[in-house]
Structure 1
Amino acid sequence: MAAVPGATTDANPGGGAAEEDGEHVKPFTPEKAKEIIMSLQQPAVFCNMVFDWPARHWNVKRLSEVLHGKQIRFRMGMKNTDTIPQFETSCSYVEATLEEFLIWNCGQSSGSGPFQDYDHSQFWAYADYKYFVSLFENKTDIFQDVIWSDFGFPGRNGRESTLWIGSLGAHTPCHLDSYGCNLVFQVQGRKRWHLFPPEDTPFLYPTRIPYEESSVFSKINVVNPDLKRFPQFQKAQRHMVTLNPGQVLFVPRHWWHYVESVDPVTVSINSWIELEEDHQARVEEAITRILVCALKTAEDPDNTKAWLNPTEVEETSHEINCRYLNGAVSALFDHYRSSKGVEIQALGTNGEPTKKEKLNVHDHMEVEQPHSPNLTMGPVKQEAASPFGLDLVPVIPSSKEPSTARGGIFENDGEDFVTKDGEYFGKSHCTKRQRMMYISKKAIVEQIASDSTEAPSPIYVSTDDLLDCLVNPQVIRIVAQLLIQGKTL
């Protein structure tokens, strides 16, 4: 079952005491919690870990008092079931206070104010991605109300956190984060998470339009998929969990997620935990940025809003992007030079390092395994024993768990999703591709020869079609590795 926030249990996984002298004791020590986070390869929910956090009481009413009069940007979306994702580039935006948001959300709007053009029955509002540092710039004491050190990260608090406030139906499109892993603390209301493992990336039809550094979006609305257009999505393995107040969700690296508010008001706090793999990921993101910006600005230099996510406010000139790439590559090499086990010996007598003396970063890089759909390769971490219990609940595939299991925090979406078997999208060999191109060319020639009055139907390839191929995560990973290897040979 899902443990009630603040309650104690008899289970004691991880070495923590369940109860001591009548006082609540957290089920995991910081050291054990960090060990779980750094080794676990699937999403899981931590219970009974934040009952003493001051941020536990940060409902919207309390936050509206703390942020009295402060203007916050809300993203406005439609409450509909369209098969097309509601990307941020297609949404409207409103500047309003939390007091004004609460009045509108209660349906008490008088027809005036910042939300006057948005019928509450048809729209949702989302104040997302609000960094504590800018939101509470004059109230830095509040940073101490968030205690990520309980999860084994000393000194990490609200300063390294982000706040999310939404109304019923508010959501983020399905995407994966390029950097780090994620800890999400649910404060008020409930949010439903739809998660897909990294190996399902080919089935999610990844795209970098709209472009946002660190976010790879899916072309699919995962709650209302167009299976005729995206048939491979049927192979994706959906995991679902409804996160309740007082629970903390761990989202491992590169897990896809679609998050929706299922209560009238939701508040959550998250922090992205840096990982070793982020050094190479930044090089991959820099390459992606150059390609996307070069092609899209060449296509329409005066309309960046059509493809650039509103969260991207930095310069996108080619010169700036090249500096970004060089900075990412330099940072990667600086990191590996200082890493344990990487030795740089003196130059030879001819001024060149010998083959043995060259900087070897290959052991640190993620290497794509042949014929494998898994996009997050790396050393597989083994655990001596399962850490799961009443206070750490795994998020499992929705098709394998009834909706009443584990106290109701896990749900079955009612759809039958096929497990990953057979050939996956994007897996083709050169010989097969060449053969298909030859057959297509031959068919066109034969068609023209048989009826000279009819030309073949034209196929339009857009810039976005080209970008979907060029900046596919698999392609970018190979390019980044070739670039890095070229600098170390």
Structure 2
Amino acid sequence: MAAAPGATPDSAPAAGAGEVEGERVKPFTPEKAKEIIMSLQQPAVFCNMAFDWPAHHWTAKHLSEVLHDKQIRFRMGMKRTDTVPQFETTCAYVEATLEEFLTWNCNQSTISGPFRDYDHSKFWAYADYKYFISLFDDKTDIFQDVIWSDFGFPGRNGRESTLWIGSMGAHTPCHLDSYGCNLVFQVQGRKRWHLFPPEDTPFLYPTRIPYEESSVFSKINVVNPDLQRFPQFCKARRYMVTLKPGQVLFVPRHWWHYVESIDPVTVSINSWIELEEDHQTRVEEAITRMLVCALKTAEDPHNTRAWLNPTEVEETSHEVNCHYLNRAVSALFDYRTSKVVEIQALRTNRDDMKKEGLNVHHHMEVEQMDDQDLLLGTIKQEAASPFGPDLVPVILSSEELPSERRGIFEGDGKDFVGKDGEHPGKLHCTKRQRTMSKNEDVVAEQTASDSSMAPSQTFISTDDLLDCLVNPQVTRIVAQLLIKGRSLWS
């Protein structure tokens, strides 16, 4: 995918873009921001794009006043650094108000209420994955406080957003999101992000247990990995960034991430941006759901909470999952049909333009368009790097594991310029590429190393089988075969 056109410090926004607050001008117009998002292949931080958002002032204290006595579920985890990830299925949960959370977070020695059993020095709390549409169901005007339209997505606001509030140490296990790309607005406190590229997936030892649609977890605690059990992880490339208030992080499709709060209170808002690739991914996810639910329910029909993530509340019956798969396949074919019609319409328009005797040079350009170019309506061009003081690349970490927990990227990005004045983010154009055959070799190697901990450990569990059956590479192939077969039937 071509890099997006760059924006120099003195480039001006489009007239009437509404990007000015007094004398302050946003560095990118919505059109330019979306162009960057849709073409950039590595994580990057947007600066000075949300300074006028009302949500900029959404501290936890402010939100506690807005939500009053509303009960919110907090995930409680241990402040420890062992080698096993703290998955949501192993955490305790507390129903409390934000005011009660803030009181507990002040580290008072004696406290009553819902947090009374959780010593602040030993536990962290995370109100994560809170959809605005349910959190602010009686205050829908607040949706307008989040303005994703500034990034080129008209009408997108808090209605399509999720809120995250945590104490120091709160974190999400390392995972990738199956759908879309991700925009994250940091409101209060700082969060450290550990990111790994999609092509390093075999080195992250992916698993679908615990199961949650759209989340592929890693078996590894990436801040304290067990390299004896997961030796291939040493080959994974770690990109790190500490996201500060006012900044917006762009996470491209299928980038792995582990996120941890490193200040006493953190507040962030995110939105997942839909992509065309999601249509096939829904088929892959439906296949995964069917296999996981069938095997795990058969194994223990009365204990789904041992493997089903608390955020996953939908039916798990085979009948429901079969219907889910059929809907996903039908939706994919409907989408492809609509695109064929759209392409045909564009071709008809092109032919009409020829008949009307329009500029010959323009005809030549249109003739050179492939179907994707026709849909986009533009000819792809080589462009300069978009990086600069207002768009900072997340760079490859050179830190060794023991010192990784120190602050990284504490500046504003201005010190991320190389000795020749070039931003190191340009390295994304020459990143290592692996072939499918190499990845398959790695999967075989990691499976062998993972199962050879001791000669006597030869028992294969349901989870071991599922790790192979619903490996992202496998479900992708199965989905393609299923879609191809369905095409032949019709």
Using structure 2 for the length normalisation, give the TM-score.
0.80
1:409 CA drift (Å)? 9.6
Q: Does 1:11 align with 2:25?
A: no
Q: CA deviation at 1:426?
A: 3.8
Determine helix, strand or coil for the equivalent of 1:283: helix
In 1, distance between residues paired with 2:456 and 2:113? 52
**Aligned mates of 2:303, 2:48 — CA distance in 1:** 49
Give how far 1:340 is off: 4.0
Q: Alpha-carbon deviations, 1:437-478, whole Å to 9, x = none?
A: xxxxxxxxxxxxxxxxxxx84610000000000000000000
Match of 2:361 in 1: none
Amino acid at match of 1:286: A
Contact kept? 1:94, 1:115, Cα under 8 Å: yes
Distance change >3 Å, CA 66–CA 222, structure 1 → 2: same
Q: Where does 1:127-166 land on structure 2 (aligned, <5 Å)?
A: 127-166=127-166
Cα distance per residue 1:106-127 (max 9 Å; x no partner): 0136332000000000000000
Q: 1:297 to 1:404 in 2, by over 3 A?
A: closer
Query: What secondary structure, in the 3-state scheme, does the structure 1 residue paired with 2:179 have?
Result: coil
Aligned mates of 1:113, 1:382 — CA distance in 2: 60
Distance 2:459 2:415 in 1: 43
Equivalent pair of 1:236/1:420 in contact (CA under 8 Å):
no
Residues 331-342 of structure 1 correspond to what in structure 2 (within 5 A)? 331-340=331-340
In the alignment, which residue of structure 1 is the partner of 2:467? Answer: 468
Q: Does 1:427 align with 2:426?
A: no
RMSD over aligned CA atoms reads: 2.9
- 2:360 is aligned to none
Alignment match, 1:368: none
Q: Which amino acid aligns with 1:60?
A: A
AA at the equivalent of 2:149: S
Measured against aligned partners, the alpha-carbon deviations of 1:62-96 in whole angstroms (never above 9, x if no partner) come to 00000000000000000000100000000000000
Cα deviation 1:317-343 (Å, max 9, x = unaligned): 000000000000011111111114678
Q: Which amino acid aligns with 2:252?
A: P
3-state SS of the aligned residue for 1:212? Answer: coil
1:477 & 1:175 partners in 2: Cα distance? 18
Equivalent pair of 1:132/1:162 in contact (CA under 8 Å): yes
Query: Quick check: 1:14–1:387 contact (8 Å CA) kept in 2?
Result: no
Residues 176-216 of structure 1: CA deviation (Å, up to 9, x unaligned): 00000000000000000000000000000000000000000
Once residues 112 and 311 of structure 1 are traced to their aligned partners in structure 2, the CA distance between those partners, rounded to angstroms, is: 27
Query: In the alignment, residue 23 of structure 1 is paired with which amino acid?
Result: E
Q: Give ranges in structure 1 of 5+ residues lacking alignment.
A: 1-8, 345-362, 365-380, 412-418, 437-455
Kept in 1, the 8 Å contact 2:389–2:414? The answer is no
Residue 384 of structure 2 corresponds to which residue in structure 1? 385
Residue 78 of structure 1 contacts residue 123 of structure 1 at CA under 8 Å; is this kept in 2?
yes
Paired position in structure 1 for 2:38: 38
Task: Tell me by how many angstroms 1:14 deviates.
Answer: 7.9
Question: After TM superposition, what 4+ stretches of structure 1 lie above 2 angstroms from structure 2?
Answer: 12-17, 19-22, 108-111, 340-344, 400-411, 419-426
Alpha-carbon shift at residue 420 of structure 1 (Å): 6.0
Contact 2:132 2:143 in 1 (8 A): yes
Which structure's residues are more often helix, by fraction? 2
Look up the match of 2:206.
206
* Structure 2 counterparts to residues 114-129 of structure 1, below 5 A: 114-129=114-129
> Contact conserved, 1:287 with 1:476, CA < 8 A, in 2?
yes
Unaligned segments of structure 2, at least 5 residues: 1-6, 345-370, 373-379, 401-406, 417-430, 449-454
Cα 1:383–1:98 shift into 2, 3 Å: farther
1:367 equivalent in structure 2: none
Query: What amino acid maps onto 2:383 in structure 1?
Result: A
- State the alpha-carbon separation in 2 of the partners of residues 342 and 482 from structure 1: 26
Contact 1:163 1:267 in 2 (8 A): yes
Deviation at 1:383, TM superposition (A): 4.8
Structure 1 294/20 Cα, relative in aligned 2: closer, same or farther at 3 Å?
Answer: closer
1:397-412 equivalences in 2 (<5 Å) = 397-399=396-398, 407=412
Match of 2:267 in 1: 267
Please list the CA deviations of residues 117-139 of structure 1 after superposition, one character each: whole Å capped at 9, or x if unmatched. Answer: 00000000000000000000000
CA–CA distance in 1 between the matches of 2:323 and 2:256? 29
For 2:349, the equivalent position in structure 1 comes to none
1:120 and 1:26, CA in 2 relative to 1: closer, same or farther beyond 3 A?
Answer: same
Contact 2:104/2:111, CA 8 A, preserved across alignment = no
Does the alignment pair 1:243 with 2:243?
A: yes
State the TM-score, normalizing by the size of structure 1.
Answer: 0.80
- State whether structure 2 residue 291 is matched by structure 1 residue 291: yes
Residue 487 of structure 1 aligns to a residue whose secondary structure is helix
Inter-partner Cα distance in structure 2 for 1:388 and 1:183? 17
Structure 1 residues 10 and 279 mapped into 2: Cα distance closer, same or farther (>3 Å)? closer
1:262 positional shift = 0.3
What is aligned with 2:308?
A: 308
Give, in whole Å, the separation in 2 of the partners of 1:145 and 1:224.
38
Distance 2:330 2:251 in 1: 29
Instruction: Label 1:410 to 1:209 Cα distance change in 2 as closer, same or farther (>3 A).
Output: farther
Q: Structure 1 residues 408 and 337 mapped into 2: Cα distance closer, same or farther (>3 Å)?
A: closer
Deviation at 1:22, TM superposition (A): 5.9
- 1:425, distance to aligned residue in structure 2 (A): 5.8
Distance of 1:203 and 1:52 partners within structure 2: 41
SS of equivalent residue, structure 2 residue 209: strand
What is the alpha-carbon distance in structure 1 between the residues aligned to residue 37 and residue 413 of structure 2?
24
Counterpart of 2:103 in structure 1: which amino acid?
A: I
**Overall identity of the aligned pairs, in %:** 79
